[in-house]
Amino acid sequence: MNQFAPLSIARNYSFASSTVAVLRRQSFLIRALGRGIHHKVDSTIGSIMQETEADAVSIIRAITPTLDPTRHKGQAGRIAVIGGCREYTGAPYFAAISALKIGADLSHVFCTKDAAPIIKSYSPELIVHPVLEESYSVREEERKQVSVKVVAEVDKWMERFDCLVVGPGLGRDPFLLDCVSEIMKHARHSNVPIVVDGDALFLVTNNLDLVHGYPLAVLTPNVNEYKRLVQKVLKCEVDDADAHGQLSSLAKQIGGVTILRKGRSDLISDGDLVNSVSIYGSPRRCGGQGDILSGSVAVFLSWAHRDSVAADRNPTILGCIAGSALLRKAVSLAFETRKRATLTTDIIECLGRSLEDISPAR
Ligand SMILES: NC(=O)C1=CN([C@@H]2O[C@H](COP(=O)(O)OP(=O)(O)OC[C@H]3O[C@@H](n4cnc5c(N)ncnc54)[C@H](OP(=O)(O)O)[C@@H]3O)[C@@H](O)[C@H]2O)[C@@H](O)CC1
Ligand SMILES: Nc1ncnc2c1ncn2[C@@H]1O[C@H](COP(=O)(O)OP(=O)(O)OP(=O)(O)O)[C@@H](O)[C@H]1O
Ligand SMILES: [Mg+2]
């Protein structure tokens, strides 16, 4: 079945101010809550589900905005990454720079004070906010006050963001994760789409209410993160013989969030259809590819939510399909020349060509 047939998106749309963007996201929420679920009975296994290889190329072409000289800075997307701590500075950088390379106008990183100068030194393109604090730097009696300050620092920007990526290189410090929980609640209150990755998946797996029932949330688990989610939510082990059915049940149990299960094929579901993206990437599994994916999904989510997508297609799903396909194509381009030496930075360098081959800039 051609999943893409009913989709029509006006490519020449005009971008809206952040307030209008918020209203649009609200109207999507209303549509998402009212949307019916279409099932097909798979008679061979008797379970109710649908699956399909997504027509990713058409989806990317449809949701990538044209480069319009009348637009101003910010209208092609403002992304924020919440992540970066003493141990990890690469992951938030990979996510944030990928968003810019794909076409977002502005990319922010909210990280700990230790991580900020390092991330800034990787690139002058990123707007880096040294606002997060870990337990070791805050006395017990100051925690409440510091937490309020941290959340306020992010909150003053919140309405301007088209998407948050929470988790790449965040670490697992309990105080830091408490602050990030509050940031996620504020993002949800402002109807900002959230891509939950890396250590934020650890946080969310233990605090499902943070995303339960929020259709603008995307979880992007790798093999370990998926296993933990399945064990926690479905109270069983991962069953690869019923990969699609299990993914669909998991998304449904978390109230219709979208899950992008990373692997040999990326599987994407909001509890309704299961879409797969199997474009060949490479046999190289260097760390950081998931971070590129989170930045890529964030950009396509922000584009997909900007205009009226087909009423019966979830723009969050479309953003995930586009983000996954673009990354996988970039991986294959990087591997063509770099082979075993392929690194995350090589893949990032191929993001532009990957998109250009599919949706040329005019
Ligand atoms: N260049 C960079 O900066 C990159 C940084 N990266 C960043 O690394 C972070 C972890 O992501 P990952 O993908 O390694 O997590 P994953 O496969 O679940 O873990 C593997 C094993 O390690 C363990 N473990 C992990 N963290 C732990 C902790 N804080 N404390 C204790 N245990 C911990 C974990 O144990 P478990 O949770 O199963 O108990 C599992 O067995 C995340 O922030 C990511 O963004 C990557 O994006 C790559 C590039
Ligand atoms: N076995 C595989 N075969 C082909 N592609 C894969 C395979 N596993 C993962 N990928 C691809 O690599 C991308 C990153 O997935 P991966 O599982 O490495 O994420 P991750 O562990 O979160 O990465 P990171 O190191 O950035 O944290 C996914 O989009 C997926 O397309
Ligand atoms: Mg990861």
User: Which residue, judged by its Cα, is nearest atom 5 of ligand 2?
Assistant: 264
Pocket test for ligand 2, best of 289, 344, 350 (most atoms within 8 A of CB): 289
For 227-246, how does the pLDDT look when each residue is reduced to its tens digit (9 = 90+)? 999 999 999 999 999 999 99
Binding site feature residues for ATP? 262-266, 281-290
Residue 52 pLDDT grade (very low, low, confident, very high; cuts 50, 70, 90): confident
Is the per-residue pLDDT at 6 higher than 80?
no
pLDDT bracket for residue 68 (50, 70, 90): confident
**Domain coordinates in residue numbering, the chain:** 37-358
Atom of ligand 2 nearest to the CA of 328: 31
Mean pLDDT to the nearest integer, 264-281? 96
Annotated binding site: 169, 222-228, 262-266, 281-291
Contact of 20 with 13, CB cutoff 8 Å: no
pLDDT-derived band at 33 (thresholds 50, 70, 90) equals very low
CATH domain 37-358 topology: UDP-N-acetylmuramoyl-L-alanine:D-glutamate ligase (3.40.1190)
Q: Which residues contact 355 (CB under 8 A, 6 or more apart)?
A: 60, 64, 102, 103, 326
Contacts (Cβ under 8 Å, ≥6 apart) of 99 = 77, 79, 81, 107, 165, 295, 296, 298, 299
Ligand 2 touching residue 362 (CB < 6 A): no
- What is the SS3 string spanning 316-358? HHHHHHHHHHHHHHHHHHHHHHHHHHCCHHHHHHCHHHHHHHH
Residue in 18, 20, 24 with CA at minimum distance from that of residue 304: 24
Spatial CA neighbour of 93 closest among 141, 127, 45, 57: 127
Q: Which residue has the higher pLDDT, 53 or 210?
A: 210
Nearest ligand by distance to the CA of 286: 2
Instruction: Specify the pLDDT at position 345.
Output: 98
**Element containing residue 256 per DSSP (H, E):** none
Give the pLDDT of residue 43.
31
Average pLDDT of the chain, as a whole number:
88
* Residue 31 pLDDT exceeds 60: no
Provide the ipTM. 0.92
Q: Which ligand is nearest to the CA of 262?
A: 2
